[in-house]
């Protein structure tokens, strides 16, 4: 007889496996014929970029656990080995799918008159063009290293891509082979080179193939007779991620117990399947790639994240139709702070223009009645207008406080640089709380005419606001605004008890309040009353919450979910999860907003905020979900979720199997939520 733990484990999809399922949904988008051709290439690039980050962090952590020989982590080690094997199996299958999809897109490009040519397919005119390109550009940027002279390759950057070269020349009656490596100068020249057109055909060439053609020039005078070049890339262990879902103490033991693997060592090697065995072995040895690391044999080209920057060749018809962000008319009438004091306002990015929020900051920066501004910053745009507005406020004598998260993964250096600029301008910069990553998205504006708060589901980031769907609520509701101000006090003194009656704040009490509201729906369902909850969230992996959702479903609560990424739920289990439905949408915008609606016996409760349903968000980060009280905003939030649940054009059935099947309707009609929402907002202008 199975224990309760064994039964639950069969109903729980491990976080990293569910992530692989999610990334495949992006890969499936690249295969859709109804998606514009150049956008399909971009989806391949996104898939590849996601996979790199996943291996740098999540798979690196699994590898460390597997290598730990401490007896006390045996259970975790066995689980990590199981997940690692499953990831590699899925990765191998998805790699084949990727290659097939890429070659299909290349053929479709040719049908549109766009050709990717290699070094053996050049016309005489194109050959001469590349010779000149080499002399004028590449000549000073291609420096080979003989592999026999390099002890370790792991010191090289894993953001780059390399050509492994086998060089052959005669040595008497024998052929002598040398092996070399060239780091491709993608940052200087891009990954794709536009060649002269050929009889009306637009011709592009991978930089890899340009360098292949130029090998005789690069090694001129060395008497080599034959050149073979094979692309490869590798991924390093980016960090030791302290995973809160693993029992306390395990990560510390793993971190201390492993002497052989240090941060920054290669853990994955991706290579051209045609590479000679002796050359592959040489590279693997110099990268210290062992049996616990991942090896992936693929096609001719790698580092396909560069497909996100594939030249459009002037063919805008092969991209998504333009959907310029809409500027809400109300945002241009008089004082925006005054409008917020009259009634709660909201913006839904990227449908609405981010300049609406910048207008709030600008007015706060110059208004005589505004005394202070406080905000949290997690990621910042390269040329952040948000920071410029805050600096303006500081120079105008406002007390400006910025809480900036220095541990925002892969943005650490950028955030440090911005912090210095803000400090130089007189802004008080707080670097968060040790052990608690600050992920909440809050702005507080203190004014003699009435304080204001902005609560967002996404970063205050102009670039994100053009690509991510996020909700921002701007309110003068006194209880909410007062508690937003209290969150900043909580950040400064996180271990001082601080009650929040209206906001859901983690790690304070968000988990408890969520469970309480779900219990309320369970109670109503058991009493034979209507009971339901709806949510739009990025990730659901927290085991206690998954168990609570199963309990609610078993009681008869209707649960409709939009989940973009990781989802550990297994839906459709009779008596366990047969009232749970999950739709995973992949479209032109990255679905990022977090919205929760509880039926609450007919008096619906609405929340928006920064937190996903993951252990890290509920227990190890400072997150905020705020109630939405304005009926107009409530109606729009419900419309967002209802449109998402109806999405049959871009939605996938997320049921725990990893099949990612499309939804079907009796009339086979396709409904696309992002397109429909934009049309609604435009009509409401």
Query: Quick check: helix, strand or coil at residue 534?
Result: strand
Determine whether 502 is an active site residue: no
**CA 573/CA 167 separation, integer angstroms:** 59
Q: CB pairs under 8 A, 24+ apart, for 132-137? A: 133/193, 133/210, 134/210, 134/214, 134/217, 137/188, 137/189
Distances in Å between the alpha carbon of 392 and those of 287, 360, 386, 426, 487? Answer: 49, 13, 10, 10, 24
Share in percent of the chain as helix, strand, coil (round to 5): 40, 20, 35
Two tokens at 573?
């289990």
Total residue count of the chain as it appears in this document: 685
- Paired strand residues for 618: none
**CA 341/CA 363 separation, integer angstroms:** 14
Per the omega criterion (within 30 degrees of 0), is the bond before 507 cis? yes
Read off the DSSP letter of residue 34: T
Tell which residue, 596, 592, 605, 500, has the closest CA to residue 545: 596
Two tokens at 542?
């927290």
For the chain, counts of helices (H) and of strands (E)? 21, 26
Distances in Å between the alpha carbon of 29 and those of 76, 323, 422? Answer: 35, 20, 41
Query: Quick check: helix, strand or coil at residue 659?
Result: coil
**CA 622/CA 505 separation, integer angstroms:** 7
H/E stretch holding 22 reads helix 15-30
Tell which residue, 594, 596, 582, 601, has the closest CA to residue 522: 601
Identify the active-site residue in 302, 352, 439, 539. 439
Tell which residue, 538, 514, 540, has the closest CA to residue 14: 540
Query: Quick check: helix, strand or coil at residue 248?
Result: coil
Two tokens at 611?
């937190």
**CA 155/CA 165 separation, integer angstroms:** 19
Q: Which residues of 326-350 are buried (b: 16+ CB within 10 A; e: fewer)?
A: bbbeebeeeebbebbbeebbbbbbb
Sheet holding 294-298, edge to edge: 145-146, 174-183, 162-171, 226-236, 266-272, 294-298
Residue 153: which residues within 8 A CB-CB, separation 6 or more? 181, 234, 266, 283, 286, 287
H/E stretch holding 89 reads helix 74-111
| Residue 435 CA to its chain's centroid (Å) | 23
Q: Where are the alpha helices (DSSP H) in 112-236?
A: 124-136, 186-189, 207-218
Q: Is 667 left (phi over 0), alpha (psi -120 to 50) or beta?
A: alpha
Q: Which residues are catalytic?
A: 439
């Amino acid at each position: 007889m199975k224990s309760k733990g064994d039964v639950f484990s069969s109903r729980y999809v491990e976080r990293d496996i569910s992530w692989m399922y999610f990334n495949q949904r992006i890969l499936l988008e690249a295969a859709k014929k109804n998606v514009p051709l150049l956008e399909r290439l971009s989806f391949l690039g996104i898939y590849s970029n996601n996979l790199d980050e996943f291996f740098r962090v999540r798979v690196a952590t699994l590898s460390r656990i597997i290598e730990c020989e401490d007896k006390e982590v045996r259970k975790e080690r066995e689980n990590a080995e199981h997940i690692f094997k499953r990831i590699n199996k899925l990765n191998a299958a998805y790699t084949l799918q990727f290659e097939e999809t890429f070659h299909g897109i290349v053929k479709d490009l040719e049908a549109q008159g766009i050709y990717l040519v290699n070094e053996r397919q050049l016309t005489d005119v194109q050959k001469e063009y590349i010779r000149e390109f080499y002399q004028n550009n590449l000549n000073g940027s291609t420096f080979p290293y003989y592999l026999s002279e390099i002890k370790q390759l792991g010191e090289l950057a894993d953001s780059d891509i390399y050509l492994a070269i086998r060089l052959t020349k005669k040595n008497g009656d024998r052929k002598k082979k040398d092996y070399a490596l060239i780091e491709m100068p993608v940052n200087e020249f891009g990954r794709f080179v536009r060649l002269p057109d050929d009889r009306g055909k637009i011709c592009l060439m991978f930089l890899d193939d340009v360098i292949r053609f130029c090998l005789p020039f690069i090694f001129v005078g060395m008497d080599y007779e034959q050149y073979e070049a094979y692309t490869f890339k590798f991924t390093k262990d980016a960090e030791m991620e302290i995973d809160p879902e693993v029992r306390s103490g395990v990560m510390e033991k793993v971190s201390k117990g492993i002497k052989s693997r240090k941060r920054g060592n290669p853990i994955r090697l991706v290579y051209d399947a045609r590479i000679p065995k002796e050359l592959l072995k040489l590279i693997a040895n110099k990268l210290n790639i062992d049996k616990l690391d991942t090896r992936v044999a693929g096609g001719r080209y790698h580092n396909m994240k560069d497909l996100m920057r594939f030249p459009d060749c002037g063919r805008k018809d092969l991209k998504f139709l333009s959907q310029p962000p809409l500027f809400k008319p109300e945002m241009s009438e008089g004082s925006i702070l005054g409008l917020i004091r009259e009634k709660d306002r909201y913006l839904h990015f990227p449908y609405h223009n981010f300049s609406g929020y910048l207008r709030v900051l600008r007015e706060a920066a110059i208004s005589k009645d505004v005394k202070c501004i406080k905000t949290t910053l997690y990621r910042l745009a390269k040329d952040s207008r948000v920071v410029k507005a805050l600096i303006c406020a500081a120079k105008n004598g406002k007390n400006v406080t910025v809480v900036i998260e220095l541990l925002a993964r892969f943005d650490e250096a950028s955030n440090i640089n911005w912090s210095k600029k803000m400090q130089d301008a007189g802004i008080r910069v707080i670097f968060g709380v040790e052990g608690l990553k600050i992920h909440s998205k809050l702005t507080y504006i203190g004014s003699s005419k009435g304080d204001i708060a902005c609560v967002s589901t996404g970063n205050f980031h102009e670039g994100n606001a053009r690509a991510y769907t996020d909700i921002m609520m701007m309110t003068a509701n006194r209880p909410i605004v007062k508690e937003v101000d209290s969150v900043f006090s909580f950040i400064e003194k996180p271990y001082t008890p601080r009650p929040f009656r209206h906001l859901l704040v983690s790690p304070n009490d968000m988990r408890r309040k969520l469970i309480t509201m779900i219990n309320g729906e369970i109670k109503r369902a058991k009493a034979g009353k209507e009971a339901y909850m709806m949510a739009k969230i990025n990730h659901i992996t927290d085991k206690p919450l998954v168990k609570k959702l199963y309990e609610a479903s078993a009681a008869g609560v209707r649960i409709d979910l939009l989940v973009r990424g990781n989802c550990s739920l297994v839906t459709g289990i009779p008596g366990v999860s047969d009232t749970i439905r999950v739709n995973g949408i992949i479209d032109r915008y990255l679905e990022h907003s977090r919205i929760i609606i509880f039926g609450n016996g007919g008096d619906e409760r609405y929340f928006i905020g920064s937190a996903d349903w993951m252990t890290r968000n509920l227990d190890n980060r400072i997150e905020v979900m705020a109630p939405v009280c304005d009926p107009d905003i409530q109606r729009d939030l419900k419309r967002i979720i209802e449109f998402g649940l109806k999405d049959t054009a871009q939605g996938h059935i997320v049921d725990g199997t990893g099949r990612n099947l499309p939804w079907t309707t009796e009339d086979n009609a396709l409904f696309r939520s992002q397109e429909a929402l934009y049309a609604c907002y435009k009509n409401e202008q």
